[in-house]
Structure 1
Amino acid sequence: MSRDFVYTCGTMQKNRLVIVGAGPIGLEAAVKAVSQGFDVTVLERGDIGDAIQRWKHVPLFTPFGMNSSTVGRSLIADQQPPALDDLLHGGQFCERYLRPLANSTALSGCVLTQHEVVAVSRRAFGKSDRIGQPGRADQPFRILVRTNDGERIFDADVLLDCSGFTSRHHFVGAGGMPCVGEQLLLTDSDYGIPNVAGAEGDRYRGRHSLVIGSGYSAATSVCLLADLAGDDAATKITWITRGNCDKPLRQVIDDPLPMRAELTDRANRLAVGDDPIVDWRPGLHVDEIEQTESGFAVKLFTNPESGEGRVERIFCDHIIANPGYRPNTDPFRELQIHRCYATDGPIKLAAHLLGESSNDCLQQTSTGCELLQNPEPNFYILGAASYGRDSRFLMQIGLQQVDQVFEHFASTNGANA
Structure 2
Amino acid sequence: MSTLTLTPRPRVADRLAALPVAIIGAGPVGLAAAAHLADRGIAFTVLEAASGPAAAVDKWGHTRLFSAWREVVDPVARRLLEAAGWTMPAEGRAPTGRELVDSYLRPLAELPEIAVHTRYGARVSGIAREGMDRTHSTGRENTPFLVRTPKGELLSRAVLDASGTYDSPNPLLSTGLPTIDDPRISHALPDVLGSERERFAGRHTIVVGAGHSAANTLISLVRLQRDAPGTRITWLIRNPSAVRVSSSAADELVGRAQLGARVDRYVESGAVEKIDSFEIDRVEALPAGIRLSGTRRDEPAAITADVVVNATGFRPDLAPLREIRTDLDAVVEAPRLLAPLIDPNVHSCGTVEPHGFRELTHPEHGFFVVGMKSYGRAPTFLLATGYEQVRSIAAWLAGDLASATRVELTLPTTGVCSTDAGGCC
Specify the TM-score bucket, using the shorter chain as the normaliser: 0.7 to 0.9
Task: Please list the CA deviations of residues 279-324 of structure 1 after superposition, one character each: whole Å capped at 9, or x if unmatched.
Answer: 1000001122222324222223124xxxxx2222212111111100
Compute the displacement of 1:23 (Å): 0.4
Compute the displacement of 1:404 (Å): 1.1
Task: Please list the CA deviations of residues 107-157 of structure 1 after superposition, one character each: whole Å capped at 9, or x if unmatched.
Answer: 131111111000110012220121xx8x412211111102xxxx4111111
Does the CA-based 8 Å contact 2:211-2:242 persist in structure 1? no
Counterpart AA for 1:290? E
Q: CA separation in 1, counterparts of 2:176 and 2:296?
A: 15
The answer to whether structure 1 residue 314 and structure 2 residue 275 are counterparts is no
Q: CA separation in 2, counterparts of 1:53 and 1:282?
A: 31
The answer to whether structure 1 residue 67 and structure 2 residue 67 are counterparts is no
Aligned to 1:115: 122
Structure 1 pair 205–9 and aligned structure 2 pair: CA distance change class (3 A): same
Counterpart AA for 1:234? G
Q: Tell me which of 316, 333, 336 is aligned to 2:322.
A: 333
Q: Tell me which of 14, 21, 27 is aligned to 2:25.
A: 21
Aligned to 2:418: none
The answer to whether structure 1 residue 171 and structure 2 residue 171 are counterparts is yes
Does the CA-based 8 Å contact 2:210-2:242 persist in structure 1? no
Aligned to 1:209: 205
Does the CA-based 8 Å contact 1:298-1:313 persist in structure 2? yes
Does the CA-based 8 Å contact 2:16-2:142 persist in structure 1? no
TM-score, length-scaled by structure 1 = 0.87
Q: CA separation in 1, counterparts of 2:305 and 2:370?
A: 40
Compute the displacement of 1:247 (Å): 7.0
Matches within 5 A, 1:141-160: 141-146=145-150, 151-160=151-160
Counterpart AA for 2:118? V
Q: CA separation in 2, counterparts of 1:269 and 1:170?
A: 28
What is the aligned-residue identity percentage? Answer: 27
Does the CA-based 8 Å contact 1:288-1:298 persist in structure 2? yes
Please give the secondary structure, in 2, of the residue aligned with 1:22. Answer: coil
Aligned to 1:53: 58
Q: Tell me which of 255, 275, 280 is aligned to 2:274.
A: 280
Structure 1 pair 221–161 and aligned structure 2 pair: CA distance change class (3 A): same
Task: Please list the CA deviations of residues 342-366 of structure 1 after superposition, one character each: whole Å capped at 9, or x if unmatched.
Answer: 0111111113333x88532122232
Q: CA separation in 2, counterparts of 1:254 and 1:173?
A: 34
Please give the secondary structure, in 1, of the residue aligned with 2:373. Answer: helix
Counterpart AA for 2:294? L
Which shifted more, 111-120 or 189-198? Answer: 189-198
Q: CA separation in 2, counterparts of 1:45 and 1:52?
A: 14
Task: Please list the CA deviations of residues 338-395 of structure 1 after superposition, one character each: whole Å capped at 9, or x if unmatched.
Answer: 11110111111113333x8853212223234211111001111111111111111100
Compute the displacement of 1:76 (Å): 2.7
Compute the displacement of 1:205 (Å): 1.2
Matches within 5 A, 1:102-251: 102-130=109-137, 135-146=139-150, 151-178=151-178, 182-186=179-183, 190-230=186-226, 233-245=229-241, 249-251=245-247
Please give the secondary structure, in 2, of the residue aligned with 1:299. Answer: strand
The answer to whether structure 1 residue 384 and structure 2 residue 378 are counterparts is no
Please give the secondary structure, in 1, of the residue aligned with 2:46. Answer: strand
Which shifted more, 359-368 or 9-18? Answer: 9-18
Please give the secondary structure, in 2, of the residue aligned with 1:76. Answer: helix
Aligned to 2:6: none
Q: CA separation in 2, counterparts of 1:186 and 1:346?
A: 34
Structure 1 spans left out of the alignment, 5+ residues: 1-7, 304-308
Counterpart AA for 1:185? D
Q: CA separation in 1, counterparts of 2:86 and 2:244?
A: 41
Does the CA-based 8 Å contact 1:252-1:360 persist in structure 2? no
Q: CA separation in 1, counterparts of 2:231 and 2:88?
A: 39
Aligned to 1:5: none
Q: CA separation in 1, counterparts of 2:258 and 2:324?
A: 43
Q: CA separation in 2, counterparts of 1:268 and 1:248?
A: 12
Structure 1 pair 70–11 and aligned structure 2 pair: CA distance change class (3 A): closer
Please give the secondary structure, in 1, of the residue aligned with 2:100. Answer: helix
Does the CA-based 8 Å contact 1:247-1:268 persist in structure 2? no
Q: CA separation in 2, counterparts of 1:209 and 1:229?
A: 11
Aligned to 1:265: 261
How many residues in Structure 1 have an aligned counterpart in Structure 2? 388
Aligned to 2:296: 302
Structure 1 pair 368–76 and aligned structure 2 pair: CA distance change class (3 A): closer
Does the CA-based 8 Å contact 1:19-1:43 persist in structure 2? yes
Please give the secondary structure, in 1, of the residue aligned with 2:44. Answer: strand
TM-score, length-scaled by structure 2 = 0.86
Which shifted more, 399-408 or 72-81? Answer: 72-81
Q: CA separation in 2, counterparts of 1:247 and 1:402?
A: 30
Q: CA separation in 1, counterparts of 2:279 and 2:257?
A: 27
Task: Please list the CA deviations of residues 255-296 of structure 1 after superposition, one character each: whole Å capped at 9, or x if unmatched.
Answer: 11121111101112222x132x31100000112222232422
Please give the secondary structure, in 1, of the residue aligned with 2:26. Answer: coil
Compute the displacement of 1:93 (Å): 0.3
Does the CA-based 8 Å contact 1:159-1:379 persist in structure 2? yes
Structure 2 spans left out of the alignment, 5+ residues: 1-10, 402-425
Counterpart AA for 2:232? K
Which shifted more, 34-43 or 114-123? Answer: 34-43
